[in-house]
Each structure stands twice: as structure tokens, then as C-alpha cells.
Amino acid sequence: MVSTQYLFKKFKVGLKAMLSDKIGVLGISILLIIILLSAISPYIFPLQSRADPTQIFQPPSGENWLGTDHMGRDIWPQIANGGRGLLLLAFITASISVMIGIFLGTAAPLIGGKFDEILLFFADVWLTIPRFPLLVVLSGFFNLTSYVLALVLAILSWAGLFRSIRAEVLSLKEREYVEAAKMLDLSMIHVIFKEITPNMMPFIIMNFTLMMRHAIYAQVGLFFLGLLPLEVNWGVMLNIAWAQGAIYHPDALWFILAPAIAISLLILSLVWINRSLENLFNPVLRTDHDD
Amino acid sequence: MTKAMKKELLKINDLSIAYNTPRGKLHAVRNVNLTVHENEVVALIGESGCGKTTLCLSIVQLDEDNAQLLNGEINYYKDGEVKILTQMSERDIKIIRWQEIALMFQASQSVFNPVIKIKEHFIDTVKAHDNGYSRKAIIDKSKNLLSKMQLDADRVLNSYAHELSGGMKQRALIALSFILDPKIVIFDEPTTALDVLTQRKIIDLLRLIKEEYDFSIIIITHDLAIAAELADKVATMYAGQIVENGKTEDIFYSPSHPYSYGLINAVPKLISDKCEGDLSSIPGSPPDLIDIENKCQFSPRCNFATEECFRDEPTISKVGESHFVACYNYKNVPPIRRDN
Amino acid sequence: MPSNPVDIYVNELISSHGISVEAARSRASALYALDLDMPVWRQYISYLGNLIQGNMGQSIRSPGVRVSTIIRARLPWTLFTVGSGLIISTILGIVLGTISAFKRDKWYEPIITGSASIISAIPDFLIGIFLIIFFGIITWFGMDRPLLPIQSMRGTHTMGLSIDDGFTYIRDIFAHGMFPIITYVLAQIGMWVLLMKGSTTSTLKKEYVKLAEARGLSNTKIMSKYVARNAFLPIATEFAMRMGFILGGSLIIEQLFVYEGLGLELLNAVHGRDYPVMQGILLIITACIVFSNLFAELIYGALDPRTRRGE
Ligand SMILES: Nc1ncnc2c1ncn2[C@@H]1O[C@H](COP(=O)(O)OP(=O)(O)O)[C@@H](O)[C@H]1O
Ligand code: SF4
Ligand SMILES: [Mg+2]
């Protein structure tokens, strides 16, 4: 029987293995640095709101670590503070979407019948939706605030996880301990959350990072296109650099490179974490059927 | 047929193979000597991980990438000539493979390419060795072999692997192994993945085909009943070594190695229609093959062990006519009592 | 919050152009080819009916211009750039992926695989931005200007040139399409390399490949008939699926390079609240995905007998 203790032990073993994987360590370190910066920057690197026309597009210096922007403001505080919103929203999106995926993905095969069929059909249709163009169009109809966007993103991306979880549950359903749990007359909810979900944890965590990655891409893309309300984040910095023509301005190199590199690092860290998780869990998850 | 008439076909001399692993060299096969004569069936028994597969892969030089030949050689005798398989070029060994020695892998459930029909496998095999045959001639011969394996030849040839059951695939593979009339066929656990009835059927078919053609068999099996039924000679492997080697009746009725004794004694009835031999019945587990200690490898599990067993590895002793054992105390091992 | 595009449009006409309600409604009705006195759901059904007959209505920003005309003008450019990007990246990815699967002990293998996994993680528009910076903005040491004249490479082709100009025109559209195409290639090539490498490596381990060796087949035969045919299966499916996203995957890149394709048109429509154009383009994009999925299934059925149904 799966207990918290067991999970904790599994987690510890996993963490240990992950720390021995260089790429995984690199990914976790980058992510932790970004999270740390997001947490402390408002106090240590506060944003500078006043424009200073004498300081436009200055190169990096001891005072302005990453140079200055088109209004002469220091770029570094903008970078240090600019990941928070993206990360938070990506986290919320991934959480909602994973919850929908888990709930429907376990409920469908357990309830079975028409319910299962209809959901599966929906998921298939859902997967053919051109997500990003649709988001762009939606942002033309509605004012997408962060939380609405998180919800929309989550709703747009539940189908993939639903399908994989459904498949896993179908195969787990056949296994003994679920049978045993049923014999003990445990309720279905109990079966889902006590027996099945813990077994799929690796799978879910991997999907979580993947989902965060998609959410970050979508957000940054929409910000870059100027389709979301402006705030301070890396996507908006790109948008401003673009809108100001800074992208074609050799002096503005740092203004555009800094957020571009920051976004790349954030996504890379998620990809690396995902990859090292995959290496870690693969023996369990590997399905090498031939025929 | 008397002993003197049998000619040597394959001779493995002092073969040692190690795998290079992150922890160091894993000695999977250690100083193995084994001879296979014409028309002889040799059974290799021993629990999982004792090096049986490694040995067989080496015979056709299909060793894993990280395998390394430490010493020894494998000789193959053809028309009075010796061919040293372990020193052959890639081109020459390709000719030996399947035409002279056909190796059928363990757990052979996905040995057919899923995207081409079964008949393509027969045609590819023949053409690789002799481009002179027409497709029609190859198909005819395949049909003949498949019918001998009691399969619906036309249907099987035109099927894809996923359209056949496990037993059908196994029988098709056996048919495929005879397409070039090889001198030796090696079966690595041919029945492990199959259900009991199918196992029985495969063994019967093997016996039938053995009566009809002249060839030798090396069969690896966990199933002592199969070994007793098919084999002329049995070799027991333990921790990379052949610890006992002799005629089937010698090994099964008066084994000289405590390990063989344990294996055989654990099986209630040797020849039965249910194949129920099982090698996992001796308590304890085999040693780590990376850090090999200088002692009898079986000593931690051995009921006959004495002091010297823990000091030094035993050398080979001759027990009787072509019966060899690596044990200090082989004289103490009693014969097997059969109540039936 | 406005409930449907027609209402939004009518409201906008009234508020921004000061037209009377009647005038606005009659203009909207003409645009969408709808009877605005019908219930909204009947309007929508009749709009869908029009769509099915190929009538996607008219643009709001350029009144009188049919949506289908706009799409027909923009579509080829997107098809050209995204399609070239897809094909080139697939071919290069197959080659590099195969090399890295077979040369696992060579010094360059980790470099190929490493770069592939990094580049496949970076969002396509950032790759575009990096390209612009490195080729069009930075003046590298020892040069007096950037490597490429990025400003004059914007757009789909040089004004005034047409297909009648023959080779000059071809060269011109490639020069203009170069940045988007390279961006698409770089954005996808990593994925192809990793997919091909993974697929080849796992195929090489399959029992049927080992048995083919045991049967004495020549290496050429094993590689072509046993390895390649199986390793190629996931590539083929992925390719067919990606064909579906040819039209949808181009929004930001086209904006970045001011490349007047379907994606940029969609963006302009969103900014200009041109609902018929938005709907029309979204419809085309979705249709493309649906057809590619069907196509993917066909391809898979043809290549892999295991997926064929019936006897
Ligand atoms: N490619 C390999 N790399 C490292 N060790 C291996 C490899 N293949 C087999 N081994 C090890 O070699 C030993 C012998 O394996 P094998 O020949 O497969 O035994 P058997 O066929 O008797 O079960 C085992 O301990 C196994 O773990
Ligand atoms: S040598 Fe000793 S330990 Fe080894 S098998 Fe013989 S009696 Fe047992
Ligand atoms: Mg084996």
C-alpha cells in the first residue's frame, strides 16, 4: 500500500539520482536562481520608474550591470523582476491543467462506457485546435488578464495529459493492487488518489514541466505581440524593444538580448529538468512493444 | 552409432569473455571448454545470468558491443578444415552465420521485422547467401519447412508478424532456421515465453525434424525435462564456468557436481508431459561476476563444501568416460534416487 | 462584454464613426451576408452555411475585399516559407540524427546531440531575434557593416518584381524568405535530430535487427530494409502532423520579419478587429490541421502494417 512515507522515500531516492545528473542539476540551479531573484528583487533590485534621457541605451557598467533601456532606465532590475509574473502564471496554468488532466484521465477509464468515449473524442478534437492562433484571436475579443489567460491556457492544453493518463490508468487498472483495493471495498476516489496517482507521479511531474514550458511560450508570445496588458516582464521587454525599433538599433543590443537570454534560460532549465526526470523514470515508464 | 564415428564439429577452447561495465570487467564466460560433435544435441543448463547467452552469441561472433574476448578460441570444422570463428573477418563470419550455424535468440517474440511479410524473411536469408535461387524456389522450400512445422504455410508466408500467435511465430522461426540446412542450430531458451501446451508442441516438432535431418543442436534451457528429453550431452554452467559436462544419463542419474545435483534433485519427474523443471529452487544467489574471489564460486550455497573449497577454485577432474566436473568433493555427491 | 462579432462591429461603427444604428446594422448585414433580424443562433448557422459554400464574407478593414481573396494572396507566402523550413529541417535532422545514432563514440556526437537539445528548447521567435541580432545588427570585428542588409530583406519580395521577372524574382523571394526559413529550420531541426537519433538507436536494439545479423544479411540490406524502414515510422507521422501546423506556426515569425503571410494578416486582423478575416484564417488553419491528421493516418497505414485494419 502506498503511504506518504513511501512517497517521501521515493522522492528522496529520485532527488539523489537527479543530483547525480549534471544536466538535471544545471536545470534545477537555473530555475532556483530565477525563483530566488523573483522573490528578493522587489526589495534588493527595485524597479526604476523615472526616465533619464541622458542615459539612453548605455552599455553595461558597474552601475548598470546590463546597460540601460530606451528611456535610460537600468535593465538589470527589469530582468531580475521580469520572470516572476511569467513563472507564477506558468505554474498556475500547469497546476490547473494537470488537475483537469488527472481528474478526467482517471475518471474516464474508471467510469468507462459512453462517458469515456465522449471524453476521448473531445480530447482528439481538442488536440487539433491551433492553440496559439486561437489565443491571438481570443485576445482580440477579450481582455485577457493573467488569471483568465492561465485558465484559458489550461483549458486549451488538458487533452494531451488526459490521453496519457487515461492510457496509464487503463493499464494500471488491470494490475493486482488496484484489484486488491477494490476487493477491500475502497471507494473509487480512494483508488484514484491513493493508488493510481502516486504511481503516475513521475509522469505527472514531467507533464507539469512541459505544460509550464508551453505556458511560458504562449505568454511571452502574446506579450511580444503586444496583445496582453503591459507589465514588467521579459516578454514585454521584448515587445518594447521591438516596438521602439530597438531591435534594429546596434546600441540597444543589451536591451533585447537580456530578456531573450533570460527567457531561453528559463525554458532550457525546464527542459533540462524534464530530461533528467525522464532519464530517471524511464525504466519505469518505458514501453517497448514490438507487436 | 559408435563414438568413434562421430566427428567434431565445433570446439570451444578455454574461452573467456568479459563485459566492460562502469564498475569494471564483468567476467561472464570463464575458461569454457566445450565440444559439439556432428548430429549431437548438447544442452546448456544453469540459472539466469551464468553466461549461457554470452557463450552462444560468441559462437556466431554477435557479441554485445561492450563484450571483450579475453582468451581462447572457437573452432569450426568444415570439410576437414579448421575455421577459427573468433578470428574471422566480418565478411567471412557472415557466410558462416545461418548457413553453417543458426542462432535463435532468447525470447524470440519480435524477431520478425514488423513491416515486412514473413516470406520476405525467408527470401532475404537465402539471397544473402546465394543469389542464384529464384523467389519461387525459395518460397517452395519455405512452404515445405513450414508445413513440417504444422503451419498453414501459405497463410504464414503472407502474414506480418503481428498477425501470428507466439507459438506460430516460434515455429515459423524454427522453419526459417532450417532454410539453409545449417550444421548447428543454437536455441537460446526456445520455449521460455510460451505457454505449456505450446512448449510441448515445439519440443515434439523439434524431435521430429531432428529425426529427419542431420544437424547438431545446442539448446539452452531452464527446463530440465526438455534437456533430458532432447539432449545427448549436458553441460551445467555456473558463474561463467562449465562446472559439469557429460552424457545426459550420467548427469541426470549420477551427477558429480553439487550444483547439478541440486538442480536435478529439485525436479520431481524428469520426463513428463508437463514441463515443470525449474532452476530457481536452490537457495541463495550466484556470485557477483565483477569481483571474483579465488574460491569455489558455488561454495556459499553448497551443502558439500569443505575448507579447501573456500581457499581455491577447483580444477577439472575426469569422473568417467567423457564426464568432467569441477569440484573437490565430487565423490561425496550421491546418485539421484528415482522412485518411479 | 460583447457577445458576438457582429454586435461588436455594429457597436464600433456607432461609437467610432458616429453612424446611426440602422446604417451600421445594414452595413454589417451586407458585410457578413446575414439577416440581422434573425436570432443570433440562426445568424451563426447561416454564417457557417456561407463558410461551407466558400463564402467567408468580406473584410472590415478593406470593405469590398472578400476574405477568400485576402487568404488566397497571403497563403502562398506562408506555405513557401514554413513549408521550406519544414522540409529542410526534416532532411537535415534525419541526416544528423542518423549520424549521431551510428557514431556514438565519435567526438562530434555529443556536440550534435547537445546543440540539438538546446536549440530545440529555444522558442522560435527568440531564434529569429538572435538571427536578426547576429546577422543584421552586430558589426563583427574587422567589418564595416553587419553581415546582411536586414532592413531591405523585410517583406515577401521587392516591390515591383513579379513572376514575369523569372530568375531575378525567384532569387528575390528566396532572399526575402531566407530569414523566416532559416528560423523555421533552426526552430525544428533539434527536434528532428533527437527524434531520428532516438528512433534509430532503439531500432538498432530490436531483436529483428539482431536476428537479421545472425542470418548473415549484408549490412546494406539490414540498414535499408530492417533499420531504416522502422526507424522512419515516427518521423513520417511527426512530419504529417507538423504539416498541419504549417499555417498556424508562423504568427510571431512573420511579425518579426514583417513577412506578409497568413500569420501577419491574422495579427493585423486582430489589431484591426477584422472579425471576418480572423474567422476565415482560423478556419483555414484548423482545416489544415484536420486534413494533416487524416493524412498522417493514411501514411501510417501505408507504412506500418500493424495499424491496418481488417484482413
Ligand atoms: N551487454 C552486457 N553488458 C554488461 N553485462 C552483461 C551484458 N550482457 C549480459 N551481461 C551480464 O553477463 C552475465 C551473463 O549474462 P548472460 O550471458 O545473458 O547469462 P544467461 O544467458 O545465462 O542468463 C550476467 O551477469 C549479465 O548481467
Ligand atoms: S568444490 Fe566444494 S563448494 Fe564447490 S561445489 Fe564442490 S563441494 Fe561445493
Ligand atoms: Mg540468457
Interface of B with C in 155-184 (CB under 8 A): 160, 162, 176
Q: C touches which chains (3+ CB pairs under 8 A)?
A: A, B
CB B326 within 8 A of CB B257: yes
* Mutate: best of A212, A264, A266, partner C, most C CBs <10 A: A264
pLDDT above 50 for B276: no
Per-residue pLDDT of A98-108, as tens digits, reads 999 988 988 88
- Class of residue A233 by CB neighbours under 10 A (exposed 0-12, middle 13-18, buried 19+): buried
pLDDT above 80 for A178: no
CA gap B270, B325 in Å, rounded: 22
Q: What is the CATH number of domain C68-309?
A: 1.10.3720.10
* Residue C159 DSSP symbol: T
Per-residue pLDDT of B111-166, as tens digits, reads 899 999 999 999 999 999 988 889 999 999 999 999 998 999 999 999 999 999 88
Nearest bound ligand to CA B315?
2
Q: What percent of chain A has pLDDT over 70?
A: 80
Nearest bound ligand to CA B309?
2
Q: Which CATH number fits domain B8-91+227-330: 3.40.50.300, 1.20.1070.10, 3.40.190.10, 3.30.360.10?
A: 3.40.50.300
Distance B28 CA to ligand 1 centre (A): 6
Q: What is the maximum span of chain A, computed from C-alpha positions, in angstroms?
A: 77
Beta-strand relationship, B101-104 and B81-84: unpaired
Domain coordinates in residue numbering, chain B: 8-91+227-330
Within chain A, where are the H helices?
A: 4-19, 22-44, 75-81, 84-111, 113-127, 131-141, 146-156, 158-173, 176-183, 188-190, 197-199, 201-224, 234-243, 253-285
Give the DSSP letter string of C6-70. Answer: HHHHHHHHHHHH---HHHHHHHHHHHHT--TTS-HHHHHHHHHHHHHTT---B-SSSTT-BHHHH
pLDDT on residue B278: 47
Domain coordinates in residue numbering, chain C: 1-36, 68-309
- Sole residue written with cell 454589417: C28
CA distance B175 to chain A (A): 20
Which of B17, B19, B48 best tests ligand 1's pocket when mutated (most atoms within 8 Å of CB)?
A: B19
pLDDT on residue C5: 61
Per-residue pLDDT of A184-216, as tens digits, reads 666 666 666 666 667 777 778 888 998 999 999
CA distance C165 to chain A (A): 31
pLDDT on residue C84: 94
Q: B touches which chains (3+ CB pairs under 8 A)?
A: A, C
Beta-strand relationship, B216-220 and B184-188: parallel
Average pLDDT over residues B57-66: 92
pLDDT on residue C153: 76
pLDDT above 70 for C33: no
Atom of ligand 1 nearest to the CA of B52: 22
Judged by a CB distance cut-off of 8 A, whether residue C306 touches chain B is: yes
CB A57 within 8 A of CB A67: yes
Residues with CB under 5 A from ligand 3 (ion): B 53, 106
Span of A134-148, B295-309, C29-43, C70-84 with lowest mean pLDDT:
C29-43
Q: Cα A118 to chain center, whole Å? A: 28
pLDDT on residue B23: 85
The sign of the dihedral angle between the CA atoms of C170, C175, C179, C185 is positive
* CB-side neighbour CA atoms (13 Å) of A252: 25
In this structure, what are the phi and psi dihedrals at residue B24, rounded to the nearest 5 degrees?
Answer: 135, -170
Using CB atoms, which residue from C207, C255, C278 is nearest to A137? C278
The sign of the dihedral angle between the CA atoms of B79, B85, B90, B94 is positive
Per-residue pLDDT of C173-223, as tens digits, reads 888 889 999 999 999 999 999 999 999 999 998 999 999 999 999 999 999
Would you say the ipTM is above 0.95?
Answer: no
Per-residue pLDDT of A149-160, as tens digits, reads 999 999 988 888
Going by pLDDT thresholds of 50, 70 and 90, the confidence category of residue B277 is: very low
